[in-house]
Structure 1
Amino acid sequence: MLYPTPALSADDARVLAEIDRMRASLRHQVRSAPAKWTAGLRKFLTADAVAASNSIEGFKVATVDVEDLLEGERDVEVSEENREETLAYQRMMTYIQTLHDVEDFSYSKGLLNALHWMLQGHRHSARKPAGQWRRGPVYVTDARDPSIAAYTAPDAARVPALMEELVDWLNAEDGTHLLVRAAMAHLHLVSIHPWADGNGRMSRSLQTLLIAREGVLAPEFSSIEAWLGRPGNTWEYYRELTDRGSKYRPDQDVSAWIRFNLTAYHQQAQTVQGRLDRSGRVWGALTEFTQSAGLDERTVTALHDVAMAGRVRRSRYEHAEGLSLQQAQRDLRDLVHARILEPVGRTRARYYTAGPHFPEQALDIARTPMTLTHPYTD
């Protein structure tokens, strides 16, 4: 038995309608914006989702470092464990993103286990097999006292039947709004806890997959994992899951879980909209600056990364603009000579930050924080 999908309240319906309008507006804006700087935004959002979801599980890697790792950078100062977890999650998320427009797509137990192998294959062991249902009990321990089980998942013998029921539910059309179904899919999977490890990230990824399959926004713009990874929101996330009880009880009202997710969708849409607006204004300010300074227009890409992320690496600039190694090195050397950029580190590990002549207007725009509204209380 799975949790029944609750009916929406009038407030829920209003918030959901606002989310739909924001996502439609974002879709139009993304499609009409220059591809060069929306490509950078897509990469940032993917890296931010990976960094946030991993951080919930205790793997702490800054978004800017995740971006570098996703670009293939080897000289990033992170532990080997964090590097492996980041790249594994990125591989799984990349595959999920490619599934957004597959015409003959269907959910299956095989697909879910394959995704789990991508995520946990590097940790496969007899005790914690990857890509296979767990063979024993699994517990979610209390964050304050690991000797206390905050949640005990269903018995392992029940997992195959529960997962078959979930797959049937995923493949059925019941007229429920896709965002609500995605939230319910997350709750179903995390409650069944079918694997020995990696259940949280798999559940959040399944939610992302359902939203991406809707096709309203590109997959990179669809995830709420970055929102869930913010410290205060992570605490609320755990509280919402804990409120479901210490054991699997699907015969209960989960309206609060839906409200929590609608808040996440709403505020994540606000966040992406704010970053999109800010990114465009920074790009415009830097375009004016490069023209007045007699710089090649392509250097805006490097300067934009510095303004928005705090730094740029030569390889990232080289790939973004399709340059040769020598061209990228020459551009960055010229920007350093003009004191627009400052180099940090040596040889392969080198990156560039804002120098004393970097345009302050662009930095001011990039550093101005936005204000989020709460859809149920503001």
Structure 2
Amino acid sequence: MMSGENRYIWQADDWPHWRYDLAALAAPMAEVSRAQGLLLGRLADVGVALRDQASLAALTEDVVKTSEIEGEQLNVPSVRSSIARRLGVDIGAVAPVDRHVEGVVDMVLDATANCHAPVTRERLFGWHAALFPTGYSGLSKIKIGAWRDDASGPMQVISGPIGRQRVHFEAPPADCLDAEVRRFLDWLNGRSDEPPLIKAGLAHLWFVTLHPFDDGNGRIARAIGDLLLARADGSPQRFYSLSAQIQRERKAYYDILERTQKGTLDVTEWLAWFLDALHRAVDQAQHTLDAVLFKARFWQRWAATPLNARQVKLLNRLLDGFEGKLSTSKWAAIAKCSPDTALRDINELMALGILRKSDAGGRSTRYELNDPIMSASSLSSYPLTSTPSSGASPV
């Protein structure tokens, strides 16, 4: 970058005095608030146990997707087990959890459960250390719990093969980070005139623009956004995941981020995108809640029916969204039983009317949940006021 050439927003003379057209953002803000109200209204009508299940689903998706955005694949059962243990939610058998999963979960839960606590330099350092428990990012050793030092050159966001790399963004020099982060935290923790949803969008953009760590800046920026959204909701319990929505719209996210960071301090376009993505995240949470409620009603419908552990396990897999079609061989592999035992389990469920043969063709017979049993009308008569005490287990 040539000396004196202003290419990025942090080089502007009036940095970081953000500007935005509040009138243009009023309608998107109102739409997000309405969607949040509809979701929270539905949640208010269900019991604590089901709200906990909905929160568990949202937090699991948030942890998995915030890492997936950065190209890291976490084990979903491990993440779910780690969060369930911390929330005190009974999910039955738990999966093994490694240190890396625990670290990401620690950060996300601290950001949301302790949303009203000040965000300090030490708290950010703790999040960063939790993300990188080994001191390495992949094969590269990085500074942990400390600002980057730019010893190997300016912090740049790049893509493409070596020799043809494209620089998408260059962060502020390391020697100004102490002052820059202090100014950011003063604004974050202090009272300001921005509407809460606008502040969440600005905080995300501001932190990821400072890029103060060697790695993990995107995940921490999203955690800060979640913290401010939890404050805006007035509840530390999360029921929607902006990180998951960003992952679904990853290319659009990086495109708008690059345009904004190479533009002016008028960030109306970024905030409009942020609010629209947030709206879609809340709408997606309605589908998650549908699945949680549906699964609960299903198990209440069959609470008095004696089922073995294999049948409960496979039915839960189907209820959670089994990929592909279920065959006898798949049943045997998942349940760790013989094909004869798998077929016996399936025939029992077909006799009860829980399963049926799929219409899909193929070399082997496929099975699926019976549509009449799965219809909303057939399940809605079972109130969500109790938990089965015997028979089938919903975990």
TM-score by length of 2: 0.69
- Structure 2 counterpart of 1:195, from 213, 223, 227: 213
Q: What per-residue deviation string (whole Å, max 9, x for no partner) do you get for residues 348-377 of structure 1? A: xxxxxxx95854456677xxxxxxxxxxxx
SS of 2:22's equivalent in the other structure is coil
Q: Match of 1:39?
A: 52
Larger Rg: 2
Specify the code of the residue in structure 1 equivalent to 2:187: W
- Would you say the 8 A contact 1:286–1:303 is kept in 2? no
Cα pair 1:139 1:151 within 8 Å, conserved: yes
**Distance (Å, rounded) in 1 between the aligned partners of 2:17 and 2:161:** 28
Q: How far does residue 91 in structure 1 lie from its aligned partner after superposition? A: 1.6
Which residue identity is paired with 1:131? G
Tell me if structure 2 keeps the 8 A contact 1:208–1:219.
no
Please, which of 133, 137, 140 is the counterpart of residue 147 of structure 2?
133
CA distance in 2, matches of 1:64, 1:113: 27
Equivalent residues in 2 for 1:57-72, closer than 5 Å: 57-61=70-74, 63=76, 66-68=79-81, 70=83, 72=94
How many residues are treated as equivalent by the alignment?
Answer: 313
Tell me the residue number matched to 1:170.
188
* Aligned-CA RMSD value: 3.4
Q: 1:279 to 1:73 in 2, by over 3 A?
A: closer
Selected match of 2:257 from 221, 241, 251: 241
SS of equivalent residue, structure 2 residue 277? helix
Q: Deviations over 1:223-250 (max 9, x none)?
A: 30110111xx10011101111345xx7x
SS in structure 1 of the partner of residue 114 of structure 2? helix
**1:281 aligned residue:** 294
CA–CA distance in structure 1, aligned partners of residues 95 and 229 of structure 2: 30
Aligned residue runs from structure 1 range 230-309, under 5 A = 230=248, 233-245=249-261, 251-291=264-304, 293=305, 303=315, 306-309=318-321
Report the CA distance shift for 1:43/1:129 in structure 2 as closer, same or farther (over 3 A).
same
| 1:73 matches 2:95 | yes
Q: Distance in 2 between matches of 1:193 and 1:241?
A: 13
Alpha-carbon distance between aligned partners in 1 of 2:312 and 2:136, rounded to the nearest angstrom:
44
Q: Does 1:111 align with 2:127?
A: no
The answer to whether the 8 A contact 2:204-2:224 is kept is yes
Q: Give the Cα separation in 2 of the matches to 1:117 and 1:286.
A: 41
Matches of 1:219 and 1:16, distance apart in 2: 21
Q: Any gaps of 5 or more consecutive residues in structure 1?
A: 77-82, 312-333, 343-354, 366-378
Return 5+ residue gaps in structure 2 as ranges: 1-14, 85-93, 324-343, 356-365, 377-395
Which residue identity lines up with residue 128 of structure 2 in the other structure?
Answer: H
Deviations 1:103-150 (A, max 9, x none): xx2222222222222222332599521110111131111257673221
Tell me the distance in 2 between the aligned counterparts of 1:97 and 1:362: 37
Q: Does the Cα contact within 8 Å between 2:203 and 2:221 map onto a contact in 1?
A: yes
Q: Contact (CA 8 Å) 1:141, 1:149: kept in 2 or not? A: yes
Partner of 1:8: 22
AA paired with 2:16?
L
Within 2, Cα distance between the matches of 1:151 and 1:244? 10
Q: Is the 8 Å Cα contact of residues 28 and 272 (structure 2) preserved in structure 1?
A: no
Give the TM-score taking structure 1 as reference length.
Answer: 0.72
Tell me the secondary structure at the aligned position of residue 243 of structure 1: helix
4+ runs deviating over 6 angstroms? 299-302, 334-337
Paired letter, 1:95: D
